Amino acid sequence: MSAQPVPAADGAAAGAADPVLFEERLWPSAWVWIVAAGMAAAVIVVLAPINLVVGYVAAGVVAVILTVLLVASTPRLVVTANTLQVGRARIERRHLGAVEAFRGEDATHQRGPALNGTAYLCIRGWIDPVVKIEITDEADLTPYWLTSTRRPAQLVAALTAPARS
């Protein structure tokens, strides 16, 4: 009876076989956190006439809930030698075509009038630059992925680096 190798729980073995070329978390900008804090503070104003202690407790609860929601909804971009992960979506790099970065008005145009309704989107309103990644897999009806990134040049460079077979 032969033993089957057990993958490392921390992903170390997988990381050695498929090194990460690019990684980014699309964290909310400072102004988003300020708005969340303002919303929590507004709870105090609403509940203070009833009971100040209840207002502070409710504001703390709202602050925790908003923080958890913002952190939990923060997608990750990961490019390895063989795969691309954008949020919860993952694809093999051999199915990727042209990759383009857009900033400013060009990025706004890509998110608006030029947007294909069947494209996969991972965009965040607080991050201006976007990268458009063509999907060449004939079995996939998605023509491209459009993702926000604070480092478009590095993402494009990682995606245009030769992929392993």
Q: Which of 5 and 76 is assigned the larger pLDDT?
A: 76
Task: Give yes or no for residue 162 having a pLDDT over 80.
Answer: no
Query: Is the CA virtual torsion 32, 122, 127, 155 positive or negative?
Result: positive
Task: Give yes or no for residue 8 having a pLDDT over 60.
Answer: no
Beta strands at 20-25 and 130-135: parallel, antiparallel or unpaired: unpaired
Report the pLDDT value the prediction gives residue 15, as an integer from 0 to 100. Answer: 47
Task: Give yes or no for residue 12 having a pLDDT over 60.
Answer: no
- What pTM was estimated for this model as a whole? 0.79
**85 contacts 78 by C-beta, under 8 angstroms:** yes
Report the pLDDT value the prediction gives residue 16, as an integer from 0 to 100. Answer: 57
User: pLDDT, tens digit, for every residue of 72-103?
Assistant: 999 999 999 999 999 999 999 999 999 999 99
User: pLDDT, tens digit, for every residue of 115-156?
Assistant: 999 999 999 999 999 999 999 999 999 999 999 999 999 999
pLDDT band at 105 (very low <50, low <70, confident <90, very high): very high
Q: Which of 1 and 55 is assigned the larger pLDDT?
A: 55
Report the pLDDT value the prediction gives residue 147, as an integer from 0 to 100. Answer: 97
* Percent of the chain whose predicted confidence (pLDDT) is above 90: 85
Q: Which of 107, 90, 93 shows the shortest CA–CA distance to 146?
A: 107
87's torsion region: left (phi>0), alpha (psi -120 to 50) or beta?
Answer: left
CB burial readout 113-126, b (16+ within 10 A) else e: eeeeeebbbbbbee
